[in-house]
Chains A and B, each alone.
With several copies, the nearest count.
Chain A
Amino acid sequence: LVPEELGGGSVSGDGFADLAMVAEQLGKTVAPGPLFPVSTVLAALVDAEPHAHAETIESLVAGESVASWAVYEPGRGWAPHEPSVTATATDSGYRIDGVKDRVEAGGQSDLLLVVARTDDGARQFLVRTDAPGVHVEPQQSIDMVKQYARVQFDGVAVDRGAALGGAADLIERQSQIAQVLQCAEVVGILQTVFDFTVAWALDRHSFGRPLASYQALKHRFADMKMWLEACRATTGAAVTAISNRSADASLSASIAKSYVGEMATEIIQACVQMHGGIGVTWEHDLHVYLRRAALYRSMFGTPEEHNLRVYALQEAGQQAPRSA
């Protein structure tokens, strides 16, 4: 994501595709670490004013500081473009007031990129978590590794340079990145869980036959294989669209987030079922994967929210004059 002169770089020449591959690897171990929140903030800084924020970018890339995107608000669904947190212009910059929540690694972050409402619409502001008026409180989640926080801003003063340019496009791109990195991680989770469940079904015998020989179970595995490949397909398509900054990147990201969100928990629950009693205990790792997939089902837009977006995009497309 980050150009070489700012300390970044890419193996394949396609930074986002590389990042998605890393996310998929992380899924295999349900690893901790603030890759996603930091990536989302980096994407914004690099796109907005890379040189104005060169120092911050380098420190984030080097892992010396941690940043996160403060976008959700209490009691509201996924509506990144409609913040109720306000940024009021002052002589020296802005005053930020309101509450954000479900901020990943909020308690571990040095910096937050806060989406706030100004007189010119939604914009984003870099806010230090040690600034006066910032109150961070941890929130519980069903995941046992990821941490979330509620962050309150009481008249937090930032200078003019804290405001990022290119608001709506930037927020849109960050949303895509956040959504699809989750999908990539989930694909890694699914492949791992599916593989060890296949191995279990081939080994475990019941009535002198491996579980895998029972048609009802074999058919369930066939469905799972199909869903898994479909998750991989739609995630891959979205990664490509985002890498290329295609016109349909937003649509592709919503399609992938909806589909992966809908199917991932189904696949893992089916794997739990294949394992029998042990699958619903603390004695097997399955629940760790299920927690992450269930978390991601809802974060950055539930399948239902993205279905509504996909419909709205289709509707807008049909109403537009037909360009032949």
Chain B
Amino acid sequence: MSEAVNTVADVESVDEFRARAKAWLAEHMPPIDPAHPPAAHRDEERCWLRARELQKQLYDGGFAGICFPREYGGLGLDYAYQQAFNDESLSYEMPLILNTPTFTICCATLLDTAGEEQKRQHIAAALRGDEILVQLLSEPSGGSDLAGVLTRADRDGDRWVLNGAKTWSTSAFGADYGLCLARTNWDVPKHDGLTMFLVPIKHPGITLRRITQLNGSTEFCEEFLDNVDVGDDAVIGEVNDGWSVASRQLYHERRAVGMGSEFASGSGSEGGRSTPVNYVRLAAKTGQSDNERVRQIAGRALVHRAVSDQLGAHVFRSVNDGSLPPAAGTLLRLFHAETVTLEMDAGLAITGTAGVVGAEGEGLETGLRYLSRQTVCIGGGTSELARNVIGERVLNFPREYAADRGVPFNQVKHGKASR
């Protein structure tokens, strides 16, 4: 990026860029009310098609990939330009659901680890709105142990043949390619025998199944890989060095959550399911507007909700000025989970019987939400994993004892269910 500043920023200042972006946005992008953004449900195919259209629009206008290098289809500008664009684009419809994982995780990782030809092909395609990328990391047997991959890739002539199962891949049904971690050597410790492949999701060997969550979302998928064959051009990084690539993905993921990423374009809300509870309305609906007990519970929830936002800004600043390490993004992940838990409990306590019997809109929605309370404590790494990360990478406490460290993977113990 510092290179980019020297070659391009001389030409146009941030303010000039901002003015040009503002004019272009007004002319080309659909305006919205930022307080009530249109819902972009990640589990609906039409939302992904819409995002592709909007991205193509940005690309054609010359505002796609502001911080991606020019040789891969971007503008090669500094973060300040992206931030200016984010400010200006707040009141326009943007392809926000492409930010994560396509741009901030997948493309960012390709930039760090892929070959020249792979970058030219895939990053450019993503910036044009032609390709959506996802991660195929987790496995049904795996839980928090991402490197404990059982999906195998075997050499067959000059091809690789992948077999296994992946799960919890967000929006895979709408995607074109997936970064898929597979085991290529079983005789070495678990991190040393992995290779990262970029596999076409539409490959006939891939069967895709949506997972229905209690909150009704079908955003996540499970994929069964049955003799999926790819060539050497699908290998990202080196064979048996796939964990380095996966580590970059995790790094970019934490960074995207914790402090924002220069590869994200637009910073509004995706809208939809995550509307916070309106306690004042809930208290009124259940006839408890004047109940001090209820008001105190709700007030406490509002306080924690506000602190969650304040912590976000604080961590962002602190990571940027170096007073907290990048892993501090995990503090936000954990605080968010704790706050949502507190809010769901508050909602249930306030609503009482109306939360369990009655009609949606009269309180029952609170009880239904409560049923998927743990979603925020599980998704994107469990709260337990988050506490490990904070303990080990923010506080530098000793790492957890791993029984599989240095042990050839084919000698590592698994549960009955995973065999």
Counting CB contacts under 8 A, is A145 at the interface?
no
The answer to whether A226 touches B335 (Cβ under 8 A) is yes
Q: Which residues of A contact B418 (CB under 8 A)?
A: 204-205
Contact partner of B302 (CB less than 8 A), chosen from A148, A222, A311, is: A311
Q: Closest CB-CB distance, B282 to chain A, in whole Å? A: 12
Which residues in chain B, 389-419, are within 8 Å of chain A measured between CB atoms? 390-392, 394-395, 397-398, 400-405, 407, 412-418
The 6 A-B residue pairs whose C-beta atoms are closest, nearest first, are A208-B404, A307-B299, A233-B314, A311-B299, A208-B403, A222-B390
Q: Which residues of B contact A143 (CB under 8 A)?
A: 356
The answer to whether A142 touches B331 (Cβ under 8 A) is no
The answer to whether A140 touches B417 (Cβ under 8 A) is no
Q: Which residues of B contact A282 (CB under 8 A)?
A: 212-214
The answer to whether B299 touches A308 (Cβ under 8 A) is yes
> Which A residues are closer than 8 A to B by beta carbons?
72, 75-78, 101-102, 139-143, 148, 198, 200-219, 221-223, 225-226, 229-230, 232-234, 236-237, 254-255, 258-259, 262, 265, 269, 272-273, 276-277, 279-283, 287, 290-291, 294-295, 297-299, 302-312, 314-315, 318
Counting CB contacts under 8 A, is B39 at the interface?
no
**Can you give 22 A-B contacts (C-beta < 8 A)?**
A75-B287, A141-B357, A141-B358, A142-B355, A204-B415, A216-B384, A218-B400, A219-B391, A222-B387, A226-B334, A226-B335, A234-B311, A259-B304, A262-B300, A273-B377, A273-B383, A277-B138, A281-B211, A282-B212, A294-B356, A295-B357, A299-B353
Contact partner of B370 (CB less than 8 A), chosen from A139, A259, A273, A294, is: A294
From B80-88, B140-148, B151-159, B175-183, the one touching the partner chain is B140-148
Q: Which residues of A contact B356 (CB under 8 A)?
A: 141-143, 294-295, 297-299
Q: Which residues of B contact A262 (CB under 8 A)?
A: 300
The answer to whether A258 touches B303 (Cβ under 8 A) is yes
- Tell me the nearest residue of chain B to A223, going by C-beta: B387
Q: Closest CB-CB distance, B234 to chain A, in whole Å? A: 27
Counting CB contacts under 8 A, is B112 at the interface?
no
> Which B residues are closer than 8 A to A by beta carbons?
138, 142-145, 148, 167-168, 211-215, 220, 278-281, 286-287, 289, 292-293, 295-300, 302-304, 306-307, 310-311, 313-315, 318, 324, 328, 331, 334-335, 338, 348-349, 351-360, 364, 367-368, 370-375, 377-379, 382-384, 386-388, 390-392, 394-395, 397-398, 400-405, 407, 412-418
Q: With A283-B211, A298-B352 known to touch, is A229 a contact of B324 (CB < 8 Å)?
A: yes
Q: With A236-B314, A269-B374, A281-B213 known to touch, is A203 a contact of B417 (CB < 8 Å)?
A: yes
The answer to whether B303 touches A310 (Cβ under 8 A) is yes
Q: Which residues of A contact B286 (CB under 8 A)?
A: 75
7 more contacts with CB within 8 A, not counting A218-B391, A222-B391, are A140-B358, A210-B398, A219-B384, A229-B324, A230-B311, A303-B300, A311-B298
Q: Which residues of A contact B368 (CB under 8 A)?
A: 142
Most chain B Cβ neighbours within 10 Å, of A198, A222, A229: A222
- Tell me the nearest residue of chain B to A233, going by C-beta: B314
Q: Which residues of B contact A204 (CB under 8 A)?
A: 143, 415, 417-418
- Tell me the nearest residue of chain B to A218, going by C-beta: B391
Q: Which residues of B contact A221 (CB under 8 A)?
A: 391, 395, 397
Q: Which residues of A contact B398 (CB under 8 A)?
A: 209-210, 212-213, 218
Q: Which residues of B contact A280 (CB under 8 A)?
A: 213-215, 372, 374-375, 378
The answer to whether B357 touches A207 (Cβ under 8 A) is no
The answer to whether B364 touches A142 (Cβ under 8 A) is yes
- Tell me the nearest residue of chain B to A282, going by C-beta: B212
The answer to whether B307 touches A233 (Cβ under 8 A) is yes
Looking at chain A's contact residues, is the secondary structure mostly helix, strand, loop, or mixed?
helix
The answer to whether B416 touches A203 (Cβ under 8 A) is yes
Q: Which residues of B contact A311 (CB under 8 A)?
A: 279-280, 295-296, 298-299, 302
Q: Which residues of A contact B387 (CB under 8 A)?
A: 216, 218-219, 222-223
Q: Closest CB-CB distance, B413 to chain A, in whole Å? A: 5
Q: Which residues of B contact A309 (CB under 8 A)?
A: 299
The answer to whether B143 touches A206 (Cβ under 8 A) is yes
Q: Which residues of B contact A295 (CB under 8 A)?
A: 356-357
Q: Closest CB-CB distance, A34 to chain B, in whole Å? A: 16
Q: Which residues of B contact A283 (CB under 8 A)?
A: 211-212
> CA separation between A134 and B70, bound complex, in Å?
75
Q: Which residues of A contact B293 (CB under 8 A)?
A: 304
Q: Closest CB-CB distance, B385 to chain A, in whole Å? A: 10
Q: Which residues of B contact A77 (CB under 8 A)?
A: 352-353
The answer to whether A304 touches B402 (Cβ under 8 A) is no
> CA separation between A315 and B405, bound complex, in Å?
55
Most chain A Cβ neighbours within 10 Å, of B214, B293, B368, B417: B214
> CA separation between A232 and B215, bound complex, in Å?
31
- Tell me the nearest residue of chain A to B301, going by C-beta: A307
Q: Which residues of A contact B353 (CB under 8 A)?
A: 72, 77-78, 102, 298-299, 302
Q: Closest CB-CB distance, A301 to chain B, in whole Å? A: 9
The answer to whether B413 touches A208 (Cβ under 8 A) is yes
Contact partner of A307 (CB less than 8 A), chosen from B211, B296, B403, B415, is: B296
The answer to whether B313 touches A237 (Cβ under 8 A) is yes
